[in-house]
Structure 1
């Protein structure tokens, strides 16, 4: 009986090792995307924000690191996910990192804060071969003490994907996100400048 038990034990160990190798191989095949490294020229493109900037939030359906896409030509309301690609972090983390690179916070902020919420963050296919990265941000300028909403705005930006896959979609979403954030900063400053409550 002992040789049989030994053989079974060796087989079990071998199977476990094969399974572990398979798991590691699968993990290594997953492509990870972020918003890219900053380059020296970006330091000349920062925008000064005159109000307090709060941490970005996101709708519940975006609280994960999966890369979403939609097939508008087939079923616009259905959300798909790339199985072998992921974001490096949550969308809120990606946006926070991007904001730190493109925004200069004033040392003496006005009496208001800027709240951002990510409403949409999808690659949208209009045809099998053409897609775009679409970002929607809802923005609020709020008086700090009373929490009164002074103004709100929904900002949508889209950028054509260079290729109909995860690589093209993430590149388009990165650029659309930066464009949307810059618009939000400009809008927030304009609202604060024109509001008595922010002074």
Structure 2
């Protein structure tokens, strides 16, 4: 008498609704790993191996200016090209991003490598008020994953480094750098891994170049 068909249907609907909410919540919890942003830098980075067999410390203080970048790189969005479909269209992953802007990540890695190279008397950050003889300026012009096919692609890092006299602002030397690394897998994770390697190669090349032209 108390369990009429209408009451039973109502209870069943409530139970099904509750289960649906629980399944949805569980699905959302299981689908959140992408929220951890990708980083080109190691948590505890070791010094990158240099290409010079012997490096002599020079009595010069170097300051690394804040790394600048093209306007389209002023974002933590993970950007890529599908060269086989539309080479001009810049796309971005919906569920992936970087821990910072490309310029911020490159600046952190470059400063660490310059300081660990033991070439300079000291290496100062761009925010330091210490006196330096040289200033290293880096302009990042490209930082993107290029897919040449559905299952193949390369990570590309490119930019220009300029060594400047800190006293008279005269340019000592300038050099363009381009480094690319093939993706091990055609995915956001594969692109991030390749981008980390390309960034390391870029940092290593800039570090060796600056040491060689001073």
* TM tier relative to shorter chain: 0.7 to 0.9
Runs of 4+ in 1 over 4 A off after TM superposition: 24-29, 46-50
Kindly indicate whether the alpha-carbon contact (under 8 Å) linking 2:83 and 2:149 is maintained by their aligned counterparts in 1: yes
CA shift for structure 1 position 73: 1.4
Larger Cα-atom Rg: 2
| 1:81-96 aligned within 5 A | 81-96=92-107
- Could you say which residue in structure 1 is the equivalent of 2:42? 37
* Greater share of residues in helix: 1
Q: Quick one: distance in 1 between partners of 2:34 and 2:48? A: 37
CA 131–108 in structure 1, closer or farther in 2 if over 3 Å, else same? closer
TM-score by length of 2: 0.70
CA 142–45 in structure 1, closer or farther in 2 if over 3 Å, else same? same
- Could you say which residue in structure 2 is the equivalent of 1:111? 133
Q: Quick one: distance in 1 between partners of 2:185 and 2:202? A: 21
Q: Quick one: distance in 2 between partners of 1:89 and 1:79? A: 19
Q: Quick one: distance in 1 between partners of 2:73 and 2:165? A: 27
- Could you say which residue in structure 1 is the equivalent of 2:16? none
- Could you say which residue in structure 2 is the equivalent of 1:4? none
CA shift for structure 1 position 30: 3.0
Kindly indicate whether the alpha-carbon contact (under 8 Å) linking 1:31 and 1:84 is maintained by their aligned counterparts in 2: no
- Could you say which residue in structure 1 is the equivalent of 2:213? 191
- Could you say which residue in structure 2 is the equivalent of 1:195? none
Paired residue total? 171
- Could you say which residue in structure 2 is the equivalent of 1:55? 66
Secondary structure of 1:178's counterpart equals: helix
CA shift for structure 1 position 122: 0.4
Per-residue CA deviations over 1:37-78 (Å, capped at 9, x if unaligned) read 3557x2474787963222211111111100110011122111
CA shift for structure 1 position 155: 0.2
CA shift for structure 1 position 143: 1.4
| 1:3-14 aligned within 5 A | none
Q: Quick one: distance in 2 between partners of 1:62 and 1:99? A: 18
- Could you say which residue in structure 2 is the equivalent of 1:67? 78
CA shift for structure 1 position 111: 2.8
Kindly indicate whether the alpha-carbon contact (under 8 Å) linking 1:122 and 1:135 is maintained by their aligned counterparts in 2: yes
Per-residue CA deviations over 1:67-120 (Å, capped at 9, x if unaligned) read 110011122111000000010111122112212432226335773211011110
- Could you say which residue in structure 2 is the equivalent of 1:144? 166
CA shift for structure 1 position 150: 2.4
Kindly indicate whether the alpha-carbon contact (under 8 Å) linking 1:38 and 1:101 is maintained by their aligned counterparts in 2: no
CA shift for structure 1 position 27: 6.6
